[in-house]
Structure 1
Amino acid sequence: MELDKALSKLFLPNNDSWLKHANPWSVWSRFATLPFIVLSIWSRVWIGWYCLIPISILIFWVWINPTLFSKPKHFDSWGAKAVLGERLFMNRKEVPIPKGYSQVIAILNVLQSCGGIILIYGIWSLDLATTLHGIAYVYLTKMWFLDRMVWLYESSNSA
């Protein structure tokens, strides 16, 4: 099983959780978590091992988030389409996606990983500029990735 599919199963284990996560409140409240995770990890400087408390709470939040919201009445918001497109992408082995999408998505995943490495280095070295650069890089590439998921969802529904 690929890493993306394994993580998907961990955080969105079934069809119902995917549909609930398509609720814009779920999408955006989960999306906004990264700076708080970064701050919690950075807080190791100030509070030592107690930083594990907010880190644990935030990881729990990311895990439980899709179950806390109801399924949206409509799936026409940008966030809902991004989630449903990502679901299509995760199921690409069972239902192939159109040619050309996989390559763009793979490039964006590499770029997100590069941003993650920059972010991790910034946090590890306590370099504020590098950390902020990493956060910006991760967010920009994630938004681009989500936009491509909307593109995938819309193209699969128009066919």
Structure 2
Amino acid sequence: MKPTNVVAGAHGMTDQAWKKHANPWSVWTRFAAIPAFELAVWSREWIGWWSLAGVALVAVWLWLNVHLFSPVEPTSWAARGIYGEQLHVDGRTPAAHRLVLRLLIVAGLLGFAFIAWGLIALEIWPLLLGTTLTVLAQLWRIDRYGLLYEQHQSDTR
């Protein structure tokens, strides 16, 4: 089973859940979880083990997020991106998109490595660099998924 299917299954991603996750409020509030997670981990210096409560809240938010918002049609940039992500998870990604998506995943993982370094060492520059790389890679992935969705729509007409 592909890692994307495992993650989607863990989030309970039914067709209805994908439509809810496509809501721009769902997309943008997930981005807000990045600095919230970073602050929760960094706060271990101030509040010790209580910082795990913040980490747990962010994890619960990320799981709940895909189910909380009302379902939408693919009329916005964010929604088209999530509809395209669903196509990707379902294995309907043409070869022309696969390489770029893999490279963007690598860029996001590199960003995550910098975030981890910054949070472990409590160094701000790798944290900021990693956050920037991760966010830019994710935005580009959403854009690429939107192109995938639009291509799929034109191919099925």
**Partners of 1:85 and 1:149 within 8 A in 2:** yes
Give 3-state SS (helix, strand or coil) of 2:13's partner: coil
- Asked if 1:109 corresponds to 2:95, the answer is no
* Match in the other structure for 2:137: 141
Identity across the alignment (%) = 34
Partners of 1:36 and 1:7 in 2: how far apart?
21
Partners of 2:94 and 2:20 in 1: how far apart?
26
Aligned amino acid, residue 154 of structure 2: S
Give 3-state SS (helix, strand or coil) of 1:100's partner: helix
Structure 2: stretches of 5+ with no match in the other structure: none
Partners of 2:119 and 2:65 in 1: how far apart?
25
* Match in the other structure for 1:98: 94
Aligned amino acid, residue 153 of structure 2: N
Distance 1:141 1:41, change over 3 A: same
1:92-130 alpha-carbon deviations (Å, 9 max, x no partner):
1xxx42221111111111111111111111111100111
Give 3-state SS (helix, strand or coil) of 1:97's partner: coil
Partners of 2:22 and 2:13 in 1: how far apart?
14
* Match in the other structure for 1:81: 80
Q: Number of residues paired by the alignment? A: 155
Aligned amino acid, residue 151 of structure 2: S
CA shift, 1:12, in A, is 4.1
**Partners of 1:115 and 1:138 within 8 A in 2:** yes
CA shift, 1:4, in A, is 2.0
Aligned amino acid, residue 63 of structure 2: W
Give 3-state SS (helix, strand or coil) of 1:150's partner: helix
TM-score normalised by the chain length of structure 1: 0.93
TM-score normalised by the chain length of structure 2: 0.94
Give 3-state SS (helix, strand or coil) of 2:95's partner: coil
Aligned amino acid, residue 78 of structure 2: G
Aligned amino acid, residue 85 of structure 1: G
* Match in the other structure for 1:158: 154
- Asked if 1:8 corresponds to 2:4, the answer is no
**Partners of 1:101 and 1:152 within 8 A in 2:** yes
Map 1:47-58 to 2 at 5 A: 47-58=47-58
* Match in the other structure for 2:67: 67
